[in-house]
Amino acid sequence: MASNSIDTDDLVWQQIRQHQALEGRKVFFFQEVDSTNTIALDLGKNGEPHGTVVVAESQTMGRGRLGRKWESPPETGLYCSIIIRPEIAPEDLSKITLAAGVAVCAAIETETGLKPQIKWPNDILLDGKKLGGILTETGALQYGETPLVVIGIGLNINTGLSSFPAELSKKCTSLSIQTGRQHSRGIILKEIINTIEQNLVVLQQKNFEKIMQQFKKRDAIAGKELSWVTIQGNIVPGRSLGIDGHGVLQIEDKEGFVHEVVSGDITLTQK
Ligand code: BT5
């Protein structure tokens, strides 16, 4: 399969594209968009139901957290967003990213045997390199109403390193780089959507403990020396104690003070 042509071998992907559907869910499939999250938020505001999926072969303005860019080389990666309307309290919305992250890891493991890890809160890593990321965004929240949430997933599947800017290629990887073979984006997408749905049910049953157990098995930073870069740009060196029962990261600084981290970035200390 040529890495830069549409996967004619990937029958599941072709079926999803042709039927604009995936196991009863409506799929909006595009050749190129600015960002699948932007499209999904607009569709959600216009009333598209829970479970609707937006997929694109490439993105011109794929985004990460804190205004960062998500590189989206055409026709080799997975760029998708799922519209959900979870029966979840506003204070629990941040748990969705963790639930989606462990679901993406489990789906990859089921399909490839690889064991991805998560760097809190949203990075999917393989061999310490970035394989994918999750970006959860919400529509305007109205008190007492079911929120509109979009879970955006970017995953490097059959992407070659030469498709990334030089600086990034040292820090990222793809499934095909790890296994030396091509993977079906269709099968992986299907498994990811189903596994995320299952984890959302677990969240709605208020059983975050179960998600936490999955997270702990895949936690890439537990016990490690790191720096927490706060939203204001302050740098707090310390060690990760893992997440608590609310998905909040605990970082112990050099003085033994434990910080509860709900935002910002984590940089692992090189040894
Ligand atoms: C993320 O942000 O990791 C969330 C990425 C979510 C992307 C999906 S694609 C479908 C949907 N639609 C969107 O517009 N977004 C979502 P963050 O933790 O902020 O990481 C961003 C950083 O990852 C960048 O600054 C780069 O260093 C790195 N990066 C960018 N593109 C990458 C790629 N394709 N693979 C690996 N690393 C990448």
Residue of 70, 126, 157 best suited for mutating to test ligand 1, as the one with most atoms within 8 Å of CB:
70
pLDDT score of 271 more than 80:
no
| Ligand 1 proximity of 35 Cβ (cutoff 6 Å) | yes
How far is 88 from 267, CA to CA, in rounded Å? 30
- Could you identify the residue written with the tokens 């095909």? 176
Sort 170 into a burial class: Cβ within 10 Å, 0-12 / 13-18 / 19+: exposed
Q: Is the CB of 197 under 6 A from ligand 1?
A: no
Closest residue by CA, ligand 1 atom 16? 152
The pLDDT, as a whole number, for residue 7 is 61
Q: Read off the pLDDT of residues 214-249 as tens digits, 9 standing for 90 and up.
A: 999 999 999 999 999 999 999 999 999 999 999 999
Gap from CA of 130 to ligand 1 centroid (Å): 9
53-85 pLDDT, tens digit each: 999 999 999 999 989 999 999 999 999 999 999
Ligand 1 atom closest to Cα of 129?
36
37 lines ligand 1 (CB under 6 A): yes
Rounded mean pLDDT of the chain? 94
The whole-number pLDDT of residue 143 equals 76
Q: Going by C-beta distance under 8 Å and a sequence separation of 6 or more, which residues neighbour residue 136?
A: 93, 94, 96, 97, 100, 122, 149, 150, 151, 152
Tokens of 128: 């310490």
Write out the two tokens for 152: 């955006």
pTM of the model: 0.95
Atom number in ligand 1 closest to CA 40? 12
Q: Give the position, in ligand 1's atom list, of the atom nearest the Cα of 38.
A: 14
Nearest CA to ligand 1 atom 9: 154
Q: What is the pLDDT of residues 113-158, one digit of tens each?
A: 999 999 999 999 999 999 999 999 999 777 778 899 999 999 999 9
Does any ligand 1 atom lie closer than 6 A to the CB of residue 17?
no
Protein residue whose Cα sits closest to atom 25 of ligand 1: 68
Q: pLDDT of 167-201, one tens digit each?
A: 999 999 999 999 999 999 999 999 999 999 999 99
- Please give the pLDDT value at position 5: 44
The rounded Å distance from CA 172 to ligand 1 centre is 10
